[in-house]
Every structure is written in structure tokens, then in C-alpha cells.
A and B are shown apart, each in its own frame.
Chain A
Amino acid sequence: MSSLVRGAATYLAAPIVVLVLWQAISMMVASPSVPTSTDAVEGMVDALGNPRFRSSVLSTLRLLGLSFLLAAVIGILAGALAGGSSLARRVLGPVLHLVNATPKIVFFPVFILALGLGDSAKLSFAVFHGVFIAAIVMMEATEGLNPRYRKVISAYRLRPVQATRLIVLPALLPYVVTALRLCLAFTFIGLILAELLTGTGGIGGEILRLMRLAEVERITGIVLLVMVIAVVPVMLLRAVEVRIRSRYAPNP
């Protein structure tokens, strides 16, 4: 019990310190344009009470779910397939790394030109933003598979389906969770960026609308909500990742 309390205290200490520091600084500045942390929390609660904002949040979550699913499936499958073939790795590897290193945000106008200002442009851009990191993680994981596994597969004369189910999938599982975590983070960033740039619906669109109305408390509250949406699932996936890694860690 005491270790549970200590663990919870360790986890909560950093955000509490940040909120207290924020409150203290904003109270010292005492300017109406600098909201306190309590103002931001009130702004968030206030915004969530508004049906229009709730539908915007749902729209963002719906697009996030869909784009994450697409980016994760495409990225993980493409990366695993590319990592399994040396030719595909040599050809696709540098391209994936190059595209991943470029600031994808500059390509967003191309998505608008091709797909218009609607959800399809936001969805495609979010997938584009998240797919490469998942593919790279899986490509490198498949490439780095322990050569002993290949020997085991050939020694037991396993069929491809058996080899995938019994050897390859358990060996790749920790990397799949890493790929999912990074893919989720990058997809959400891409989606929020797309909403901020189009200004049509979603949480990003609401932030832009409130910015024009100069409602700082509400904007800060919504940004706080965005951070919660971004951080909580990623932290959960990180916890799963740590658990799986400790369970499937290869013996030295």
C-alpha cells in the first residue's frame, strides 16, 4: 500500500509542482492576459459544459481514432515487411528516414489543395504525420531480430504462419507497442496542426475561434485538455511497453 502511495506521489509530483508554479507566477504578474492555473481549469470545465465544444472534441477524437488506426496498421505492416527484406530495406530505408526528418507541416497546403478543407484533408495529414515513425520503428525491429530465431524456425521446420505466431510476433511485440505509442503521439500532433491550420471544426478550430475572440482563459483550458488527451494514452502505452519489455526481454 505504501509503495502504491509512493508511486502515485512520484507520478503526481511533477504536474502538481508545475500547476503551483504557474499559479504563483500568474498571481505575481497579476495581468488579465495571463491566466492562472485555476482560471485554466475553470476554462476547461466551462468549455466542456458547452455542447458545441463537446461536439468539436468528439469530432477530433473520432478523426484521431480513425487516423491512428490507419497510420498504425499501414506503418506497422509496411515497416515489418520492409525490415524483412534486405532489398526493400535498402530502397525504402533512406526514403523513410528522409521523409521522417522533414518538417511535414509544410506539406499541409498540398493536402488542402488535393482534398479540400474538410475532414479528409485533416485525416490524411494526420496519417501522413504518424505513419513514418511507426514504419521506421518496425523496420528497424524486424531488421534487428535475433538471428537465433531464424535458426529456431528452420530447426523446427515451422510453417510461415506458425513461425509468425510462435516466434516473430512475440519477439516484435515490444516494438509494436513502441510503434503504437509514437504513432499515436505523432498522429495526434498532425491532427491538431491540421485543425489549427484549417480552422474548420475540431479542438484546433475551437482554439482558433476563441483566439479571435481573445478568450484567453478558455483557450488555456482547452490547451490543458489537449495535453491531457495527448499525454494520458501515451503514458498508458508506455506503461504497457515497459511491462511487455520486462516480460519478453531476450536473455543475454
Chain B
Amino acid sequence: MLLVAAVAALEVGCRVGLIDPQIVVPPTQMVRGAWEIVGRGEGWRTVILPSATAILVATCFSVLIGTCCALALSRSRMIRSACEPYIVVLPAIPVFALYPVFIAVLGQGVVSLVLTGVLLGVVPMLTQVLAGLDSLPAYLDKLARVYEVRGLSRLTRLTLPGMAPALLTGLRLSSAYSAIGVIAAELILSPRGLGHAIHSAYESFDLTRMYGAILLVLALIGSMYVGIAMVQRRVLAPGHMEVRA
């Protein structure tokens, strides 16, 4: 309700001249800017698809690396206690500062973008999986011993389903953070993508296109976040996950 009121106030403020049109354009014009990008085939090819692909790949790697690292850390108390203080402060590191290094080493391409996204997305996944492993009930251990479930089978049939809530929360946060990493890197330096669209539109003072691209970024990340949250609610609904004998 407050959001709708704020958008309406912004529209009115821009239309009656209370807000400088050189700084902010009316929300309807922002939507038009977004539609101009989406409506064109070239917009999809050079703006939305490159970002969406990089975000998807970065999310997949973040989830995979974060989960594997957390599982490896949980195997050794010594390694975990050595890494724990740094895991807590990892989100404080401005990973974006590494992007110029990636460009210098790997070139200005999708690999550098994905790497920036992975470095940002891997931290929430790692912390969520570690928290999930810590919260596993002790009876799962006994269950595994009684039924002699070991190795990969134990991982896929007991451990991972047992920490499904943490895994899904990790996936939700990891995708959002990977997206932020990719978009930020595109804003700093990239020949295509949503971040580049914002940057180039701002440089040419095309505010309609700039706000349209900002709206698309928010829509993309918001829909990813809400989509995963819906899956999470569905999967974790009572009665959905049952222990099969």
C-alpha cells in the first residue's frame, strides 16, 4: 500500500514539476523505457539474455561451490575453526574491487562477470549450508548407522533432504547476491547486459532507458527471489516431505 502510494506520489511529483525531470522521470515513463528494451529483439539479445545467462551460471557455481566447501569444512573441526572467523567477515569484502583484476587476467568477457557473481553468491550459500548441517537432528546419524547408509547415498538420502530449508534459503540468497555481482560488474565495465544498459543510458542522458533498465534489474532479481521463495514454501509445506522407508 505504502509502495503504491509512493509510486503515485512520484508520478504526480514528476508531472507537476515538483521533481526535477533531469534527475527522475515519472514511473509511467520508466515502464515505457523498460518496454522499449523488452519489446525489441535486439534488447533481449544484447541486454537481458547476457545478464540472465551470467546470473544463472554464477548462481549454479555459487550453489555448487558453497555446498561442497561447507560439506568439506564440516568434516574437520580444526579446518572449520581456522576458517570460521573469516567466513563471518567474508560479506564485508568488496568483491567488486577484484573485477578489474579478473579483466586484466581473464579479459573482458562473461568469465570475469560470472567469477564476480560467484564470489558474491558463494558466501550466503556456504553460511546457510553450514547452519543447515549444524541444525541436522542427531537421530539422522543413528538412522544412517542402523540402516548402514554411507557415502554418497547418505548425502543424497539423508543429509541434503534433512537440510532442505537451509539449502533453499541459501539458493534464494545466493541467486540474489550473484545477480548483484553480475549487474555491478556490468556497470563498472562490460560491452553488454543490463548493467551496461544502465551505464550507457546514463552517459547519454537517456533517462527513460536508464530507469527502464533499472526497473528490469529490479524485476529480474525480484522475480527470482519470489520464485525461489514460492518453491521453498511449497517444498517445505507440511506433508510434502515425508520420510520414506
Contact = CB atoms under 8 A, between A and B. Distances in A.
A10 B81 contact: yes
Contacts of B94: 188-189, 192-193, 226, 230
A95 B5 CA distance: 12
A203 B97 CA distance: 9
Nearest to B24: A110
B220 to A, nearest CB: 10
Chain B interface category by residue count: 35 or more
A185 B92 contact: yes
A223 B98 contact: yes
Contacts of B214: 106-107, 109
Interface in A88-141: 91, 94-95, 98, 101-103, 105-110, 112-114
Given A103-B221, A185-B91, A238-B89, A33 B176 contact: no
B83 interface: yes
A33 B104 contact: yes
Given A192-B94, A223-B98, A103 B86 contact: no
Nearest to A220: B101
Contacts of B184: 103, 105, 193
Contacts of B176: 101, 103
Contacts of A33: 104-105
A15 B198 contact: no
A219 interface: yes
Contacts of A184: 92
Contacts of B221: 102-103
A75 interface: no
A228 to B, nearest CB: 10
Contacts of B92: 184-185, 188-189, 230-231, 234
A105 B183 CA distance: 8
Nearest to B225: A101
Q: 8 smallest A-B Cβ distances: which pairs?
A: A185-B92, A109-B202, A192-B94, A211-B100, A103-B180, A234-B92, A13-B82, A216-B104
Interface of B: 2-3, 22-24, 81-83, 85-86, 88-89, 91-94, 96-101, 103-105, 176, 179-180, 183-184, 187-189, 195, 198-199, 202, 207, 210, 214, 217-218, 221-222, 225
Given A216-B101, A227-B97, A238-B88, 5 more contacts: A95-B3, A185-B89, A192-B97, A193-B94, A197-B187
